[in-house]
Amino acid sequence: MKKELEIIIRKLRSGDEKFYKSVFYNYYPLLTYFANKYLHDIEIAKEIVQDFFVKLYEKRFSLNIDTSFKSYLYKSVYNSCINYLNQVALREQHHRQIKNLNHEQAVFTEDDIYLNELENKIYCEIEKLPSQCRRIFKMNRFDGLTNSEIAAKLKLSKRTIETQISKALRILRNNIPGDYFQ
């Protein structure tokens, strides 16, 4: 089994597109079905599995698989599903908090409209951050991970994580009005 895993990793690292496509076509339907059990939305499940395969290809040189290849695929998709659900839950929590701020008022006021537009602007600006910076910022702010946890997860130094979060906050401060990113 270990020999089989070594062959798989070697083929992935070599950029063997034929092999990569066969892995995709063999596992995509199974992983999509698996993801859908957690997400209850087949389109989102498809998207998450497709994103996983893109990441698998992008990170093929740094693959570190401790279990069987199949277990690695399922565990990775499971983690992607959990991350997605956490992001959705956090976003819904933010929406509820904003709605609850003015729960006494039955009509939208200028403040309600402003808060809604501000929230949308914040999410848009976060999505514009450089990819690593955005990923680290979301892990910190949305997933609630500490700098040390992020550093361990991404195999980066804690200082790099701190720098990336500072960079994200600086960019967001410059692009969003007010004192929202202290």
Mean pLDDT, residues 6-25:
85
Q: Please tell me whether residues 90 and 128 are part of one structural domain.
A: no
Q: Say how many domains are in the chain.
A: 2
123-129, Cβ contacts within 8 angstroms, sequence gap of 24 or more:
123/91, 125/171, 125/172, 125/175, 125/176, 126/168, 126/172, 128/175, 129/168, 129/171, 129/172
* pTM for this prediction: 0.52
Q: Please tell me whether residues 28 and 59 are part of one structural domain.
A: yes
Residue-number span of the structural domain to which 160 is assigned: 109-182
Give CA–CA dist 18/166, Å, rounded.
42
Using the 3D structure, point to which of 59, 80, 101 is the last residue of a domain: 101
Using one digit for the tens of pLDDT, what is the confidence trace for 59-110? Answer: 888 888 888 888 889 999 999 999 999 988 888 887 777 666 655 454 556 6
- Residue 118 above 70 pLDDT? yes
Give CA–CA dist 49/81, Å, rounded.
9
- Residue 176 above 90 pLDDT? no
